Amino acid sequence: MHIQFNYGNLDSSDALETHIRSEIDSTIGRFADRISRIEVHISDINGHRKSGPADKRCMLEARPNGMDPIVVESTTDDYNSAVSDAAGKLRRALTTRLEKAEVR
């Protein structure tokens, strides 16, 4: 499973990428063999010069093999929380989608 990082209006961060990889591995690692790629989009809604409540956004797009992509998003006060919340949403979406595929 390849993880691709896209930064909106902020600079890339090794620490944030390490956190994101860890979150993805711990929450959806069991699906790794059934996902070709995950795109991570990180941005600050207000721009990096302003701060405000719930202005850090993480969007995750998973591409399960042979299926349409799944996209989830979370907006919170900090990047780590946004990533954790989005990863949880993605786990639930993948569980639902991949379990339905197994039943067929």
Type of residue at 28: I
d(CA 3, CA 20): 9
Beta bridge partners of 4: 39
The pLDDT assigned to 34 comes to 95
Question: Which domains, and CATH codes, for the chain?
Answer: 2-103 (3.30.160.100)
Q: Where is average pLDDT lowest: 13-22, 41-50, 75-84?
A: 41-50
45: confidence class by pLDDT, cuts 50, 70, 90: confident
Tell me the pTM: 0.89
Collapse the DSSP code of 95 into the 3-class scheme (helix H, G, I; strand E, B; otherwise coil) and give the result.
helix
**Could you give phi then psi for residue 57, rounded to 5 degrees?**
-120, 135
For the chain, the average pLDDT equals: 90
The pLDDT assigned to 103 comes to 61
Over residues 51-59, the mean pLDDT reads 82
d(CA 1, CA 17): 15
d(CA 76, CA 14): 20
